[in-house]
Chain A
């Protein structure tokens, strides 16, 4: 940052949040406000023959009971396939399906009446295991789809048979991961307000206002212009506040439309966990062939992802897994087959990492298992195989448009964590006392933003007011990560003005073009790129007007130190400059767009330039494992990530720490408990996310290699920090116990440790 904006912790919403004044969706009140609640059934898969709402409709305080029959627009919608029933029609496909919405004068009245709704339904056989769902004759979750396969992605590179033939050693291992709950602290909430002009206005806890608008417009059967979604503070998302949050908003809007009054729909934690999508559980089977000197020759991998009852973004999540299935390594021969599969479980979709946490958990253990077989160190096998400048990825992309900094981040973590000295102390299952000591690390590369998933562009509006204050708006959403603050700082820097001049507008879908979802760690990269482009357009416009006043050519006008300068010290204050613009009848206003550079993909071969740029990260963990209790204690965690450029360092570090902590949960404690399609861990008493006492002190290292393809030179950080701690911990536990844990979360059984039995490392399923 420039000298007028010294780097220190700053965010535009900090004071509102620390004083309790920030108004989240459930904190809003409107005259005539009604309250809605969802109605579920206990079915997991059933033919729905009728929903009886009479008793509920007659209950005290109830204004309306809504079912699929009341929907004026399309009851089904989805981001990729339109298979999600916002209200169940003729079929119940999972335990989280909603058959009705009860609308009442008070929330208590709505909750009481919801119990009076009854359904007539014929149970159908449910399919709850994705491998079973793939077998011929399995019950179909969506009959019209014709099969339970949502998608099949491939990578075909080189000749895997030849690669294995040329290998001296083959390691083979099956892995499993679990359903993961985002556990944003704020459950879904929405308020829909029918406006006199016919527009439905929505205030919701969601991370994608434009997606919310699409779901809502579909359900109401109205044009996009007739729905205005306004951003309010959101209590965490982590990828989890897209589809479900949008559907909650759409149902509130439907209730508001049918009653003509404002409606609030706030979820209990139990409803949120029951209905909202999760991170996909994966079954993965890996084979890796290497030469005696530890060079990877071939990888064959089969991945089956449980997509649950609805498609959501399963094809995109599993696509990233496919592209990144071999980790950040050079592999000449690859065959990868990834299936997204329907089941009658809770549906799965986007969660921080988006398909990378699952494959990283495997590949970062697999390379170490190979190293053990070959008698070389975990560092050495990585150094021999990792991508370097100009190398080619498994999809055929040459990494030459940015600094490939994998070795740099690895070196930083190895040095900062004192990895090699600690490695020498690892117990490998043998120790005098009960505590087994271990250290482990993991590293990755990650394609930035959406890649070949979809169109990737964003916009920003900079509107300088007559007094020199500035309004800024972008197509990026504040999810709590500090996106608005990053945008303000980038604009202040580019315009050379004090950040206090800039106010970030409360965003609305009616004020700026659809910029896509604020996901994929793309906020700073894409929104920031648009801000930089808008600022440059504004400066060009202003320079043309101001150059004569400053006695110079437009190209010589400079913007810095909160003023506009000509050569030789001629200077206009921002206020003077703005007045000049008005005199010239030119608005100091600019619209900027950043279009993501071209990417390519061939679905048949899985080859192409999948992402326009990549980031590199490494994390390490130090643990003890108690051999009598099996308890894993994490003593220290380290991370180094190349972020391109650090825009707001304290907020950047917050992304590191939060991602590492969530990664620790993924590694050690988190798994949604599901029995027969019904979630048991419906609240924080049964679903344990990390507490302050579960976490050690964390060490974060910011690596900056400015990216030429990013207008701001910054890349992203939200997800990279969340995709490495689980495998780092798994490797540390392996170093401590001498055993591999191939099922996420890692759970150490002390009886197995005492028996000293070596886990299988070949054909058999999960090795612990």
Chain B
């Protein structure tokens, strides 16, 4: 089975097909950015992108990702480590506290802005409404996403 994870081709034995994607990424690929917050697809901490669409890695199998582009938080920054403008916006706006929801939140926002580069604040709130955060009250997260939107106009 062929996967493309963060732009890199990965060959996986077919026997791994039924495994939960989240567990596979964390245990086999050492990609621990996706977090297990609830295990039932409600909190969004395990969000990764398949072909630029956010999915819950705790509810997907490895086979679900076969033949598709899988992006995890580790693949968003440039190879030289330069933060993606959306990541930089999270840093600059104080949108990070405990950080456990951050990877899923950033990827959800990234997928949203790719499709909707000129959102209102209400649209941003709807876009992240299935990603839970207990620390921030979302205010500075919305600020960060709003400020990064112009980058997606290009």
Of the residues A16, A18, A186, contact of B90 by C-beta under 8 Å: A18
Contacts A654-B135, A684-B132 known; A17 to B99 CB distance under 8 Å? yes
CA distance A233 to B37 in the complex (A): 15
B103: chain A residues at CB < 8 Å are: 18, 20
A556: chain B residues at CB < 8 Å are: none
B133: chain A residues at CB < 8 Å are: 185, 692
CA distance A386 to B138 in the complex (A): 33
- Chain A interface, >50% SS class: loop
Contacts A20-B74, A23-B32 known; A480 to B97 CB distance under 8 Å? yes
B1 contacts the other chain (Cβ, under 8 Å)? no
CA distance A227 to B139 in the complex (A): 40
A18: chain B residues at CB < 8 Å are: 73, 83, 87, 90-91, 96, 99, 102-103, 106
A683 touches B32 (CB 8 A): no
A24 touches B100 (CB 8 A): yes
0 or 1 for each of B25-41: is its CB under 8 Å from A? (1 = yes)? 01000011111111110
B91 touches A9 (CB 8 A): yes
> Separation in Å of the A651 CB from the closest CB of chain B?
6
Contacts A20-B31, A20-B73, A661-B138 known; A697 to B93 CB distance under 8 Å? no
Task: Provide 28 A-B residue pairs closer than 8 Å at the C-beta atoms, listed in order of the A residue.
Answer: A17-B96, A17-B102, A18-B91, A20-B33, A20-B72, A20-B73, A26-B32, A27-B26, A27-B32, A185-B45, A185-B100, A185-B133, A186-B98, A233-B98, A236-B97, A480-B98, A480-B100, A481-B135, A650-B140, A657-B137, A658-B134, A658-B137, A683-B42, A684-B132, A690-B137, A693-B129, A695-B138, A697-B121
B101: chain A residues at CB < 8 Å are: 185
A480 touches B135 (CB 8 A): yes
Contacts A20-B31, A183-B134 known; A653 to B97 CB distance under 8 Å? no
Query: Which A residues are closer than 8 A to B by beta carbons?
Result: 8-9, 11, 13-24, 26-27, 182-187, 233-238, 268-270, 479-482, 650-651, 653-654, 656-662, 683-685, 689-693, 695, 697-698
A186: chain B residues at CB < 8 Å are: 35, 37, 98, 100
A689: chain B residues at CB < 8 Å are: 132, 134
> Separation in Å of the B137 CB from the closest CB of chain A?
3
Contacts A19-B33, A20-B32 known; A185 to B98 CB distance under 8 Å? yes
CA distance A661 to B142 in the complex (A): 14
Contacts A9-B91, A20-B74, A693-B125 known; A234 to B98 CB distance under 8 Å? yes
> B140: nearest residue on chain A (CB-CB)?
A654
> B130: nearest residue on chain A (CB-CB)?
A691
B42 touches A19 (CB 8 A): no
B51 contacts the other chain (Cβ, under 8 Å)? no
B92 contacts the other chain (Cβ, under 8 Å)? yes
A184 touches B87 (CB 8 A): no
Of the residues B36, B72, B94, B106, contact of A9 by C-beta under 8 Å: B94
CA distance A348 to B51 in the complex (A): 45
CA distance A235 to B142 in the complex (A): 20
B141 contacts the other chain (Cβ, under 8 Å)? yes
CA distance A379 to B99 in the complex (A): 39
> Separation in Å of the A32 CB from the closest CB of chain B?
15
> A685: nearest residue on chain B (CB-CB)?
B42
A183: chain B residues at CB < 8 Å are: 134
Of the residues A26, A182, A480, A657, contact of B99 by C-beta under 8 Å: A480
CA distance A4 to B76 in the complex (A): 32
> A14: nearest residue on chain B (CB-CB)?
B91
Contact-residue size bin, chain B (C-beta under 8 Å from the other chain): 35 or more
CA distance A684 to B94 in the complex (A): 25
B92: chain A residues at CB < 8 Å are: 8-9
> A651: nearest residue on chain B (CB-CB)?
B94
B140 touches A657 (CB 8 A): yes
Besides A238-B134, A651-B94, 17 more A-B contacts (Cβ < 8 Å) are: A14-B91, A18-B73, A18-B106, A20-B33, A20-B74, A21-B74, A24-B32, A183-B134, A236-B135, A270-B39, A480-B135, A650-B140, A657-B136, A684-B37, A692-B128, A693-B125, A695-B139
A269 touches B139 (CB 8 A): no
B154 contacts the other chain (Cβ, under 8 Å)? no
CA distance A658 to B139 in the complex (A): 8
CA distance A565 to B134 in the complex (A): 46
CA distance A16 to B98 in the complex (A): 11
Of the residues B40, B94, B99, B130, contact of A650 by C-beta under 8 Å: B94
> Separation in Å of the B139 CB from the closest CB of chain A?
4
0 or 1 for each of B66-99: is its CB under 8 Å from A? (1 = yes)? 0000001110110000010001001111101111
A26 touches B36 (CB 8 A): yes
CA distance A8 to B93 in the complex (A): 8
> Separation in Å of the A150 CB from the closest CB of chain B?
28
B43 contacts the other chain (Cβ, under 8 Å)? yes
B153 contacts the other chain (Cβ, under 8 Å)? no
> Separation in Å of the B140 CB from the closest CB of chain A?
6
A654: chain B residues at CB < 8 Å are: 94, 97, 135-137, 140
A698: chain B residues at CB < 8 Å are: 137, 139
CA distance A426 to B42 in the complex (A): 36
CA distance A66 to B33 in the complex (A): 32
> A661: nearest residue on chain B (CB-CB)?
B137
CA distance A481 to B97 in the complex (A): 6
> Separation in Å of the A559 CB from the closest CB of chain B?
28
CA distance A19 to B96 in the complex (A): 11
CA distance A46 to B74 in the complex (A): 49
Within 8 A of A (CB), among B2-28: 26
Within 8 A of A (CB), among B103-133: 103, 106, 121, 124-126, 128-133
B136 touches A13 (CB 8 A): no
B126 touches A15 (CB 8 A): no
> B45: nearest residue on chain A (CB-CB)?
A185
> A29: nearest residue on chain B (CB-CB)?
B30
B42: chain A residues at CB < 8 Å are: 683-685
CA distance A99 to B136 in the complex (A): 37
CA distance A275 to B98 in the complex (A): 22
Q: Output the residue of B32, B121, B129 with the most chain A CB within 10 A.
A: B32
Q: Output the residue of B98, B126, B130 with the most chain A CB within 10 A.
A: B98
> Separation in Å of the A348 CB from the closest CB of chain B?
19
> Separation in Å of the A232 CB from the closest CB of chain B?
12
CA distance A653 to B128 in the complex (A): 20
A657 touches B100 (CB 8 A): no
CA distance A184 to B37 in the complex (A): 9
Of the residues A11, A653, A660, A692, contact of B125 by C-beta under 8 Å: A692
A11: chain B residues at CB < 8 Å are: 94, 96
> B99: nearest residue on chain A (CB-CB)?
A17
Contacts A21-B33, A21-B74, A654-B94 known; A695 to B39 CB distance under 8 Å? no
> A189: nearest residue on chain B (CB-CB)?
B36
> B135: nearest residue on chain A (CB-CB)?
A658
> Separation in Å of the B123 CB from the closest CB of chain A?
11
CA distance A231 to B26 in the complex (A): 21
A662: chain B residues at CB < 8 Å are: 134, 137
> Separation in Å of the B6 CB from the closest CB of chain A?
11
B135: chain A residues at CB < 8 Å are: 236, 480-481, 654, 658
CA distance A185 to B94 in the complex (A): 18
> Separation in Å of the B90 CB from the closest CB of chain A?
5
CA distance A182 to B31 in the complex (A): 27
A268: chain B residues at CB < 8 Å are: 39
> Separation in Å of the B16 CB from the closest CB of chain A?
14
> Separation in Å of the A486 CB from the closest CB of chain B?
12
Of the residues B45, B97, B138, contact of A692 by C-beta under 8 Å: B138
A236 touches B125 (CB 8 A): no
